[in-house]
Structure 1
C-alpha cells in the first residue's frame, strides 16, 4: 500500500508555481525500520477515517507543526469500525442545525473515487410527512421490488441526495494525503497515553499473530489526539483517570446474497439498512442501546440452531422477515459462530445511539475524537473542526452555507 515510502526517505517535490516545495513525511511500517524520534508537536493515535482525516486537515491548516499519525495495524486497518462502516451518506441522518457540515462532508466524499450518488428509500408501515405510496417509488426503482412487500411497507420516503462510499478508502486516501503533506506515519504500533506524551509499543507479527519483535519508546507530544474509536473512552479512563459519558456497542454486518446492481437504491426499514455492495447487500442492523461494560457478544439461536448473529440482531431480522422476504431465505448469511459474521465495536458519543460524532478535550493537551453511528454523514466535518481547533483557526469552510 505505502511500502514505497520508507523511513528517512523524504523527496522534495514542487507544490505549484510560487509555492514552497513540500517534503513528504516518513513511514515506518515495521520494527526493522529504526525509529529514533523523541518529540512531536501533535500525535494522532488511530488512522481510521476520523484520525487520518484529522491528520490531513491539520497538515493543511498548520503545516509548521510536526505531526505523527500512529496506527496499530496497517493503512487502512482491516479490523475495526472504519473498514466495516456502512458508508451511507443520507440527509435523513442529519441532526437539526448540522446541515451545512453534513453537506460539506458529502461534497468531500464525492471527491473520492469509491463514492457515488445512490438514492435511498426509507420504507414505513404508517403514512407520514414526505411519504408517498411505496408502489409509486418502486415504479422508479424496479430493482428494489424483489426485496420488499409493499403491503407490509405501503409508504416510502425518497432521499435523492444520498450517496455511498467506502470508509476504508477514505481512511487510506486521507492517510496517504497526510503523508504527502508532511505527516509522519508509524504503523503496527500500539500507543498508550503518558504524562506529556505517549508510550509506543512497536510490534512485528508472524502470520499466526505471534510477536517476534517488540520495541518500546517514550515520545513527548505537545498535543495528543485519541482517535481510536470505541477504545478511546476506555483509554481516557485507564491511562489518564478521566471518566467520560461515552459508551460503545457491538454491531454486526451480515450479508444478504440477493442480487444488486449499479441502479439499486439503498433501502431502510424498521431501522435496518440494506446497502448494495459487491453484487449483494450489506445488512446494517439498528442500534438499540449501549452495551454494558464487560459485555462479550455471543451468537443467538434460530429454530434452536446456534448461529453467528447476536440475539438482538437476530430478533430485528426476524421481525422484518415479512416486510423484507429475502431475509427469510438462505440468501441471508447467519454463520455458525460469531466469528463468521463481520462485526466491530462502535463508539457511542455520550452513550447515545443517535448522537453525532464529536470531539472533546480530556486535559489541556489530550483530545478525544469519536465517530459513532453518524460518522458516515458528519465524520469528516467533525475531524476538520478538531484540526482547526488545534491549529487555532476560527473559520470553518461550511460557515454561512445553507443547509
Structure 2
C-alpha cells in the first residue's frame, strides 16, 4: 500500500511489469474527458485506488481530443447550462497550465436575419483580414460571441493526466481495454520489428467502478463486451487546412455549421456533422473534378456547397490531399447519436459509467467530467451552482 498523498505509478511500455489485480475505480481512456474525470475523482475521493488506462500515449496523438476544435463559445448554449460552460472556461483558462488560451471573438455568418444578428458589412472594418474570405452579400448577417476563445484540448488532457498521477492515480499507457463482468481485461501492446502492433500480455483487473471514456469506442465497447445497448453513435470527422492568412486577432468564423479556426497562420476547417455514420462504415476519400482526393465525400460536398460564400475554398488554398491519410481525422462520439447533443454521462450497468464528450466538449466537457466524478465519489457539490 502506498501512503496517502504519494504520487501514482506510470507504466509506459511492456518492459515495466504490471501485476496489479484490482482497483476501486478504473477510467478507460485518457483523452480530455477521461483524464479530467480521473483528476477530479482523485480530488474528491483520494482514498479510492484509481487506475487510468490509455491505448496510446498521453495525450493520444490519434484520438479525437487532439483534433478537437478547441473553441470555447457560449453561442447556442442553452440558458440552463451556461453556468457549466462558464465553469469549464474558468478551469481551462486558469487551472491547467499552458493550453495556449487565446481570447478571440466568434462570428457566425448567416444568410438570413436572426435574433441578435447585426449586418455583416458593419463588422468587416473591424476585421479587415476577413475581407478576402467571405462574400458579405451572400452572408449579410452575423451573430457575435465577444467572449469566445481558442485553446489546445490535448494540453488539457496532458495536464489533467499529470495532475491525476501526482495526486495518486496509476497510469497504464499503450494498453487496449476490454470490459468484463466486474472489471476489465487489459491487453498491453507492443510493436514488432516490422512495425506491427501486437498484444504482449493480457491481465484481468477487478474494479468496483469502471468509467468508459474511450470516445467513439466507448459505446461499442460496452455493447460488444457486456451485451449492453446504449443507443449512442459516432461519426468520422476530418480537419482539412485552408492556407489563407490568419493572425492573433483573427476571429473564429462559423458559416452554416462549418467552423474556420485560426491556427498556425492559416485556418483549420471543422466541418459540420449532419448525422451519425452507420455501423460498419469505413471512411473513403472523395473526388474533385474527377480526381481522387483525401477529403471524404460527405465533407467534400459540404465544402463545395460553401465555395460561393467562402471563395478561398475554391482555390489551391484548400488542402485536399491524395488519400484519406493526408487529411487528419478521427472518430467522434455522438451522445444519443445526435450531433447537437451536449456531453453526458450515464450509468449503463451497476458500477459501469459511460462518459461521452462529442461535438460540444470544448465548451461543456470538463463540467460533465466533474459531475461524474462527484457522483462516483458520493459528493453533492456542483461548483458552478454556488
| TM-score of the pair, normalised by structure 1 | 0.92
Task: State the partner residue of 1:29.
Answer: 12
- 1:317: Cα distance to partner? 0.6
**Distance across 1 between alignment mates of 2:194 and 2:133:** 41
Task: State the partner residue of 1:82.
Answer: 65
**Distance across 2 between alignment mates of 1:140 and 1:227:** 42
* Distance change (3 Å), C-alpha of 1:129 and 1:179: same
Query: Could you tell me whether the CA contact under 8 Å between 1:205 and 1:212 is conserved in 2?
Result: yes
Task: State the partner residue of 2:55.
Answer: 72
Q: Superposition pairs for residues 274-353 of structure 1, below 5 Å?
A: 274-353=260-339
Task: State the partner residue of 1:99.
Answer: 82
Residue segments in structure 1 that go unaligned for 5+ positions in a row: 1-7, 13-20
Q: Give the secondary-structure state (helix, strand or coil) at the position aligned to 2:349.
A: coil
**Distance across 2 between alignment mates of 1:107 and 1:324:** 33
The answer on 1:260 being equivalent to 2:243 is no
Task: State the partner residue of 2:188.
Answer: 202
- 1:213: Cα distance to partner? 6.5
The answer on 1:399 being equivalent to 2:385 is yes
- 1:22: Cα distance to partner? 2.6
Query: How far does the alpha carbon of each residue in 1:116-165 deviate from its partner, in whole angstroms, 9 at most, with x for none?
Result: 21110110111121111112111212222221111111111110010111
Q: Give the secondary-structure state (helix, strand or coil) at the position aligned to 2:24.
A: strand
Of 330, 344, 348, which residue of structure 2 is paired with 1:358? 344
Query: How far does the alpha carbon of each residue in 1:54-111 deviate from its partner, in whole angstroms, 9 at most, with x for none?
Result: 0000000011100000001000000021110101011114134111101100111112
Task: State the partner residue of 1:126.
Answer: 112
Task: State the partner residue of 1:38.
Answer: 21
Of 390, 397, 403, which residue of structure 1 is paired with 2:376? 390
* Distance change (3 Å), C-alpha of 1:294 and 1:120: same
- 1:382: Cα distance to partner? 0.3
- 1:212: Cα distance to partner? 6.5
**Distance across 2 between alignment mates of 1:29 and 1:312:** 38
The answer on 1:58 being equivalent to 2:41 is yes
Query: How far does the alpha carbon of each residue in 1:237-269 deviate from its partner, in whole angstroms, 9 at most, with x for none?
Result: 101111111001111110011111101100000
The answer on 1:142 being equivalent to 2:125 is no
Q: Give the secondary-structure state (helix, strand or coil) at the position aligned to 2:138.
A: coil
* Distance change (3 Å), C-alpha of 1:81 and 1:116: same
Query: Could you tell me whether the CA contact under 8 Å between 1:256 and 1:327 is conserved in 2?
Result: yes
Range with greater deviation from structure 2 (391-400 or 378-387)? 391-400
Query: How far does the alpha carbon of each residue in 1:269-298 deviate from its partner, in whole angstroms, 9 at most, with x for none?
Result: 011000011111100000111111111111
**Distance across 2 between alignment mates of 1:137 and 1:71:** 45
Q: Give the secondary-structure state (helix, strand or coil) at the position aligned to 2:303.
A: helix
- 1:211: Cα distance to partner? 4.0
Residue segments in structure 2 that go unaligned for 5+ positions in a row: none
The answer on 1:158 being equivalent to 2:144 is yes
Query: Could you tell me whether the CA contact under 8 Å between 1:95 and 1:356 is conserved in 2?
Result: no
The answer on 1:376 being equivalent to 2:362 is yes
**Distance across 1 between alignment mates of 2:143 and 2:8:** 47
Query: How far does the alpha carbon of each residue in 1:336-393 deviate from its partner, in whole angstroms, 9 at most, with x for none?
Result: 1111111111111001110000101111111110000111110000000000000000
**Distance across 2 between alignment mates of 1:31 and 1:189:** 9
**Distance across 2 between alignment mates of 1:231 and 1:213:** 18
**Distance across 2 between alignment mates of 1:208 and 1:224:** 34
- 1:210: Cα distance to partner? 1.9
- 1:332: Cα distance to partner? 0.4
Q: Give the secondary-structure state (helix, strand or coil) at the position aligned to 2:131.
A: helix
**Distance across 1 between alignment mates of 2:64 and 2:242:** 20
Q: Superposition pairs for residues 147-226 of structure 1, below 5 Å?
A: 147-206=133-192, 208-211=194-197, 214-226=200-212
Query: Could you tell me whether the CA contact under 8 Å between 2:187 and 2:199 is conserved in 1?
Result: no
Give aligned pairs, total: 383
